[in-house]
Structure 1
Amino acid sequence: MAPTLLDLTHPVTSGMPVYPGDPEVLLEPALTTATAGVNVLALHLGSQSGTHVDAPYHVDVTWPTLDGLPLSLFTGPAVLADLRGLAPRTAVTPDQLAPALDLLTPGAVLLLATGWARHWGTDHYLAHPYLSPEAAAAIAAAGVRTVGMDALNIDRTPDPGPADPGVAALLADLTDEHDPAAAEPFSLAAHRALLGAPGGAVVAENLTDLTPLLDAQAAGRGVSVSLFPLRLVAADGAPVRAVATLAAD
């Protein structure tokens, strides 16, 4: 049996979910066969739209931009951490990652499977589990330089509130009385721990359902993944076409 290819990418569509305050996504015809003889789309989106990768520059202007990273960071054998069943806005601990970290080999991509992709397109998508600073530090210490997650953010995403007041107000009002993590300040600690690792690193977010990869890993099938981004110059990140390859049975 031939290897199986699985698309781990959310479709890019107008009005798709974005991180609160990020540019909205809009696709509309720029040229049509009726008027110009060809169809061409005009695209408006942010570098962090949909399934994407973050470069170190995303959180620190002194760290490498996307085009300064080696291609080897965007592909490799994958190890899945099964984090399904966590409550909303739960911080992942090092102990919960330990079984996956024990399986790592040099150049491996660590994929964090929370099951949160099932909430894509709903308000609950913002209430995803996230990496505690200690868990992120443990990943970096294990030598992992590529991490992917089936959720919006490896750090906690603040609730923007019903009116979505925009980035400035979002960062000024960082608690939610209904949020069990309300006392926790806004933080990019996980991003900084991973993206600031020696030699550079990348983080992929908004992957689709990783259950088939978990099943393949449990069955002893090899899993690899590619996360190649658009070649944007001096960028903080870019959308990717994320694809997993499952070895033949």
Structure 2
Amino acid sequence: MIVDLSHVFHDGMPGVRFKRETGETVELTARIRPYMTHAQSARHYEGKASFEISDVAFQSSVGTKMDAPRHRFEGADDVASIGLDRLVLDGVVIDARHAGPGQQLAWTDMKFPGHLAGRAVLVNFDWDRHWGSEIYRSHPFVSREVVTRLCDAGIALFGVDCANVDSTQDAERPAHTCFLRQGILIVENLTGLSRLHGVPFRFFSIPLKARDAAAFPVRAFAEVRE
């Protein structure tokens, strides 16, 4: 069974919001338009065929997306340098559906399995139900203790079903810093993790092979093993 873990990537979709130095609030998004319509292309084929070509523009931190080490560290590995063996992993879902807005969760607040090395560890806050709303920005997050212990355990990837693996109130961004320094990939804005509790699965998070990209949207999904 295949479980889709990605939000729909669409025109005008919600993304990271920040303030410019001028104080202007900016929200990242995607723009999807026809570059050439069927009507416009038909003349090239004597009316016997027609095609649509899309014009897509977006910032890298929108939608279900992956952070490469370059996202945090200048000159570090970009998205194109990530081998496919790092994008297809045995996965485990951690139940954190009891978390509230802005809540920090400690190690003892969640149940982690004994074997984590080399796995994709995905935290299910159930925050995807708030996708597109203001409360989505007030997401829970894991503590520095959790981040340190997961780094020490040698996980391969850390994912969440909310907008950020860090508290946006913490300027040090400890999760991004620890994980990406060690080459542990980050996937944010997942959805549908509730379907994976207690089942063995392989986690796929596949971006384009984008050179010099620090982050990139992915098609994330799980293959549940019978």
The TM tier, using the shorter chain, reads: 0.7 to 0.9
Query: RMSD over aligned Cα, in angstroms?
Result: 1.5
DSSP 3-state at the match of 1:245: strand
Give the aligned residue type for 1:23.
Answer: L
Query: Is contact 2:64–2:218 with CA below 8 Å preserved after alignment?
Result: yes
Q: Which runs of 5+ in 1 are unaligned?
A: 159-184
Give the aligned residue type for 2:147.
Answer: A
DSSP 3-state at the match of 1:186: coil
1:82-138 per-residue CA deviation (whole Å, 9 max, x = no partner) reads 0111111111212234x324242x421101110000000101000111122221111
Give the aligned residue type for 1:237.
Answer: A
Query: How does 1:135-146 map onto structure 2 within 5 Å?
Result: 135-146=146-157
Q: Which runs of 5+ in 2 are unaligned?
A: 19-26, 42-49
Alignment match, 1:7: 4
Query: How does 1:194-233 map onto structure 2 within 5 Å?
Result: 194-197=179-182, 200-214=183-197, 217=198, 221-233=199-211
Quick check: 1:24 aligned with 2:29? yes
Query: Is contact 1:118–1:209 with CA below 8 Å preserved after alignment?
Result: no
Structure that is richer in strand per residue: 2
Query: How does 1:169-188 map onto structure 2 within 5 Å?
Result: 185-188=170-173
**Amino-acid identity (%):** 28
Alignment match, 2:24: none
Normalising to structure 2: TM-score of the pair?
0.88
Alignment match, 2:86: 73
Quick check: 1:52 aligned with 2:56? no
**1:107 and 1:187 mapped to 2: Cα distance?**
26
1:127-173 per-residue CA deviation (whole Å, 9 max, x = no partner) reads 11112222111111110021111111001135xxxxxxxxxxxxxxx
DSSP 3-state at the match of 1:138: helix
Offset at residue 247 of structure 1 (A): 1.5
DSSP 3-state at the match of 1:107: coil
DSSP 3-state at the match of 2:17: coil
Give the aligned residue type for 2:193.
Answer: L
Alignment match, 2:101: 88
Normalising to structure 1: TM-score of the pair?
0.80
